[in-house]
Structure formats: C-alpha cells, structure tokens
Chain A
Amino acid sequence: MITILIVALAGGLVGIVGYHSNRLIVSSYDVVSNESSPRLFLLSRISDQANRIQVEAISYVLLKLTQSDVEDESVSSASKQSNEELMEMQEASERFSQYLKSLQEIDCLNCSEEDKKLVYGEIEKTSSLFLSLCSKLVEAVENGETNESLAKLKNEMEALEQVLLSLVAEEIDKEHIILKKRMETATKNARYSNKLIFLITGLAVFLTIVMGALLANSIVKPIVQLKSFAQSVGQGNLDQKMPINSRDEIGSLSKSFQQMMKDLKRTLEEKTKLVELAAEAKNERLRVSELKKRNQELEQFAYITSHDLKAPLVNISSVITMIEMSDEVDKNTAFLMDKIKSTVSSMRQKIAKLNEVIKLKKNMKLVPQTISLSDHTQEVLKNLEAQINETNAIVKTDFSHCETIVFPSIHLHHILINLISNALKYKKPGVPPLIEVTSVNSEGYVCLVVKDNGLGIDLDTYGSKLFGLFQRFHLAIEGDGVGLHVVKSIIESHGGKIHVDSKPNEGTTFKVYLT
C-alpha cells in the first residue's frame, strides 16, 4: 500500500516539475517578445520620420526655388504644393518628437540610468538640432536667401541626419545584442529545465523500479515462505510456527493458515487417539483369540486324553471278547490274561503322563528364581545317571558364556531332563551318545543349546508334528509322544521359543530361548 503511494507521489512530482520548467521557458520568450519589440519599433520609426522630415524639407526647398522661375498662372498651384510639403514636414516632425518621448518612457532593462540618459540625451540633442535646422531652412527659403546659404543649410541638415541615423542604428544594434542575450538566457533556461526534467524522470523511474522490486519482494517473499511452509506441513511437521507476521493480506492468509494447521493438528491428535484405541481393541482381540486358542488346545488335550484312556479300555474289552468267543479258552487263557495285564498297565502309564502334563500346564506361572545353570544341569544329569551309564554317553557342559538364568526351577528341570533324555533315548545304534549342553546370551534371551549325535529327525517330513502331543517318529524306541509337547508349552508360556535343527543319522540340536 505504502509503496504504491510512493510510486504515485513520484509520478506527481515529475508532472509538477515538468509543468514548472515549461512555464519558465514560456515566460522567457514572453519577456523577449513583449519588451524588445516596442523599442525596436520606436527606433525604426524615429529613423523613418527623420528621413521623411529631411526628404520633405528638401523637396519643399526645391519647390520654393522653382516657384520664382515659372509663369504666373502656375504659381498658385506650385505654392499650394510647397505648402502641402511644409505641412507634411511639420507633421513628421511632430510624430518624430512623439516617438522620441515614447522611447524615453520605455524602460531599458539592461542599461544603466546614466547610459540611458547619455544615449537619449545625445539623440534628443541631435534631433532638436536637426529640427531647428529644418525650421531655419524653411525660414531661409521664406526670406528668399541665396542659393549658397540654402545649400549650406541643406548640407548641415544632411550631416545631422546622418549623425542621428547612426545613433539610432547604434541603439538598434545594442538592442539586438540585448535581445540575442535574452534569447540565449531563455535557451539556457530551457536546456536547464530539460535537464532537470530528464534527471527527475530518471530518478522517478529508478524510484519506481526500486519500489516495485521492494513491493514485489514484500509480496512474493511471504508467498514463497508460505509455500515452503505448506510443503513442510504436508510432510507432517505440524508443530512449527508460521514465519510471517505482517499486517497485510499475506499476513491474514498466514494467520488463517496457522488456524487451519491447529485444527488439522487437533484432528490428527483425535485420529491418533482413535488409532490407539483401535490398536488397544485389536490387542484385546488378540488376547481373546490367544485365549480361544488356548481353550482349543485344552479341548484337544481333553479329547486326546479321553481317546487315549479309552483305547486301552477298548483293548481290554476286545481281549475279553476274544476270551469269551474262543473255542480253546483254556489253551490261550494265560496269553490273553497277559495281554489284559499289559493293557491295563499301559493305561496306567498314560494316565500318569497325562496327569503330569495337566499339572505342568496348570502351574505355568511359577515364580522365577536365579538358577546356576551348571549346578542345575548336574542335578539333572544325576537323575539320568542310570541311562547315561547304560549307553556309555559322554555329556559335555559349558556355561561360561552365560552362567545363570532367572526361571522357575521346576520348569527348567523339566526342559533339560526331557531334551537330554531324548538325546540318550534316540541314539544311533552302536554309537555312544555325545551330548553337549551349552548356554549363550542372544538378543536379550538366554539360549540353552542341547546338541547330540543321535538318529536325528527328517524335519522336512515331520517338522510340523515334532512338538505335537502323542507324536512319535522312532517306532523301535519306547516313547509316549508327550515330552517335547510339554517342553514347548512350558517355554512358550514364559514368552520363550524353541528351535530345532536336525539331519537324519547326524544328530539333533535344540536351541531353547528363555527370557
């Protein structure tokens, strides 16, 4: 706004200055035309009249001279003509005096008062002398003077006229010089004002450009700032402050932008809250589905329990049926009775195992305690002493990388005894088992490693079933299919994980990650 005003003012200034210089030029020329022309006019008139007086006077003298020589009848007309000439001469003299008077009244700007008096006095003196000579000549002719004295008077008059004319000419020359000077001054003034106009116009143009640049800058810069700001906001930086605080339209735009950003931020915050709530709800759902999964497992477990309890009973009843239907009951009684016994015993074992599993699953959340891995493993090995001796197994332990673990003792015992007894059980025929039990810290976990050189498992085929309940892979060897399932359940209930790496006939490595 202000800059626009400044530009307008500059334009106005240029106009005023231009007008002023124009007036200066016009007034200069006015002075020249108004003041110089009447003087020149009068001076030329004076010389004209002087000439005319002289001419009239001479013609009057000539007429008077011829008058006396001609016939009587023509005398009246000749004297009439000479009288006319005389009157005209007198009239010219009067005008001559009048012009002289007027000339004296007109002020000469460039002459000092003394100069003026000197010049005009000279002119006046010469003219009065000239006029008196003229009347003397007329008198002389009237009195009938001789030709000689007339010629003398005539000559004197001519000489005076010459002087007068030269004086007037001189004055005219002077006047011309003054006029020339004035013209020069006027031209100079005009040039000066031209220069002034040119300079001021240049200045105005310069100012306009500067102001325009400033104005453009003051408009464009905030817009550019606003643009980069908007881009930054678009990238999600909602906490920054608007860099523009001007009071103009850009400023108010920036203010409403800031307001919009506030609203946007609030909306985003609300959205974030909603997302958090949704995430919580999702977590809740996950927990519920986790619980559902657990319940399903329990159902499965209950089913398998009932199934496996049922199967031996079915067998018992089958055996009884066979005994009943057999024609040779006596002969086979002993054999069948043995079968009944073994079935019953199997049933007992399974029930015992299942009870163990149920017990372990019930007590998943035992209180953890700091356990020395070395001491604990020795205890486990003591429990397995009979099997170790029987198989000539070598068990190596190294807990130097990680000596202790915080974990429920019963559960750790269960994990170790299962993994080590499996390593002993599924040994390669004729090869003494070599079992390595080590520990290491890994990504926030304590990693227990149990490595053997036993039969191994074909993980491509059976990997998915390895930790399943009642799954068995080595038919020649006694097993219940419960051990690894329980191990995995324990580990997972404490937020850990179990990895297995194995190749048939090369051995198996179990890695247990506990927190």
Chain B
Amino acid sequence: MSKIKRILLVDDDSLTNLFTKFILGRYNKELEINVCLNGEEAINYLQTTDSPPDLIILDINMPLINGFEFLDWQSQSSFQETCVVMYSTSDREEDIKLSLQYKQVVEYIEKPFDLQKIKVLFDKIDH
C-alpha cells in the first residue's frame, strides 16, 4: 500500500473540495482527508493537529493567505518535508515555474482530478 495515509486539502472552493474528497475516496477509501478553506486556516490546522498530513493538496488563488504565501511559511516551518501537490485552475507558465521552485512541491496538477491523474501522482510519490 501507499505511504500516504492522511491528506490535507487547502482550497477556498467548497465544491472543489467536495469533488476532490469524492474522487480521492474512490481511489482509496482508507485515506483520511481534512479540508481547510485558505492558507491561514491550513497554518492554524497544522500548528494544532496531533496527526500531521502525509500530503498537502494546495490551491493557489485563495483569500487571506494564498498558495504561494502558504509555501513560504511552510519552507520556514517544521513541515518543510511534507509533500505538496499544487492543484489549480490556472495553466499559466509563471505559476507552474514558481511552484516547482519550492522543493516540497512534487507536482503541479490542473483541475479537475480524475482517477488516472491520482494513480500517477501516488505512484510518483511512493517511488
């Protein structure tokens, strides 16, 4: 089985979150998925949780603290080793390039997920 047991979903779009949870559940029913609606909430969650995530799925454009600002914080925190998958509607070159400059970012995935994308991603992280 995959190393990934717990996933933190950070996205301000609740429908996207609903769908992401749904499709991840379809891939692996045993995954534990937590949701935060923006970067600030995600930081608060990480600072208080007893069971930190194995993977963070991160949107870019969010209120209060956006995806890049979250990555900046993460790089300076004790969660700097936690893998991050960027998950955005945007297909802009600059966003993709900037994302991959963070070493914790393993992949940049354009919305929406499908089962094939998830399988490839998890295989990549496990190997």
Q: Which chain A residues have a beta carbon within 8 Å of chain B's beta carbons?
A: 303, 307, 310-311, 314-315, 317-319, 321-322, 325, 339, 343, 462, 470-473, 475
Q: Are A318 and B61 in contact (CB under 8 A)?
A: no
Whose C-beta in chain B lies nearest to the C-beta of A303? B92
Within 8 A of A (CB), among B70-119: 89-90, 92, 111-112, 114
B23 to chain A, nearest CB (A): 7
Q: Enumerate chain B residues within 8 angstroms of A470, measured Cβ to Cβ.
A: 61
Q: Are A307 and B26 in contact (CB under 8 A)?
A: no
A315 to chain B, nearest CB (A): 5
Q: Are A318 and B15 in contact (CB under 8 A)?
A: yes
B38 to chain A, nearest CB (A): 8
Are A325 and B63 also in contact (CB < 8 A) when A307-B89, A314-B89 are? no
Q: Enumerate chain B residues within 8 angstroms of A310, measured Cβ to Cβ.
A: 89
Q: Are A472 and B63 in contact (CB under 8 A)?
A: yes
A81 to chain B, nearest CB (A): 168
Q: B16: CB under 8 A from chain A?
A: yes
Q: B122: CB under 8 A from chain A?
A: no
Q: Are A321 and B61 in contact (CB under 8 A)?
A: no
Q: B120: CB under 8 A from chain A?
A: no
Among A343, A462, A475, find the residue whose CB has the most chain B CB atoms closer than 10 A: A475
9 interchain pairs (CB within 8 A)?
A314-B16, A315-B16, A318-B19, A318-B111, A318-B112, A339-B15, A470-B61, A473-B63, A475-B63
Are A321 and B111 also in contact (CB < 8 A) when A314-B16, A315-B16, A470-B61 are? no
B87 to chain A, nearest CB (A): 11
Cα-based distance from A136 to B110 in the complex (angstroms): 186
Cα-based distance from A5 to B64 in the complex (angstroms): 98
Cα-based distance from A462 to B66 in the complex (angstroms): 12
Cα-based distance from A311 to B61 in the complex (angstroms): 11
Within 8 A of A (CB), among B1-38: 13, 15-16, 18-19, 22-23, 26, 37-38
Cα-based distance from A475 to B65 in the complex (angstroms): 12
Q: Enumerate chain A residues within 8 angstroms of B13, measured Cβ to Cβ.
A: 311, 315
Are A307 and B19 also in contact (CB < 8 A) when A317-B112, A325-B26 are? no
Q: Enumerate chain A residues within 8 angstroms of B15, measured Cβ to Cβ.
A: 315, 318-319, 339, 343
Whose C-beta in chain B lies nearest to the C-beta of A304? B61
Given known contacts A307-B90, A319-B19, A472-B63, what 19 new A-B pairs fall within 8 Å (CB)? A307-B89, A307-B92, A311-B13, A314-B112, A318-B111, A321-B112, A322-B18, A322-B19, A322-B22, A322-B23, A325-B22, A462-B64, A470-B61, A471-B63, A473-B63, A473-B64, A475-B38, A475-B63, A475-B64
B44 to chain A, nearest CB (A): 14
Q: Enumerate chain B residues within 8 angstroms of A317, measured Cβ to Cβ.
A: 112
Q: Enumerate chain B residues within 8 angstroms of A314, measured Cβ to Cβ.
A: 16, 89, 111-112
B13 to chain A, nearest CB (A): 7
Q: Enumerate chain A residues within 8 angstroms of B64, measured Cβ to Cβ.
A: 462, 473, 475
Of all A-B residue pairs in the complex, the 9 with the closest CB atoms, nearest first, are A318-B19, A311-B89, A314-B111, A318-B112, A472-B63, A315-B15, A310-B89, A314-B112, A307-B90
B122 to chain A, nearest CB (A): 18
A478 to chain B, nearest CB (A): 13
Are A321 and B19 also in contact (CB < 8 A) when A314-B112, A475-B63 are? yes
B54 to chain A, nearest CB (A): 24
Among B15, B26, B92, find the residue whose CB has the most chain A CB atoms closer than 10 A: B15
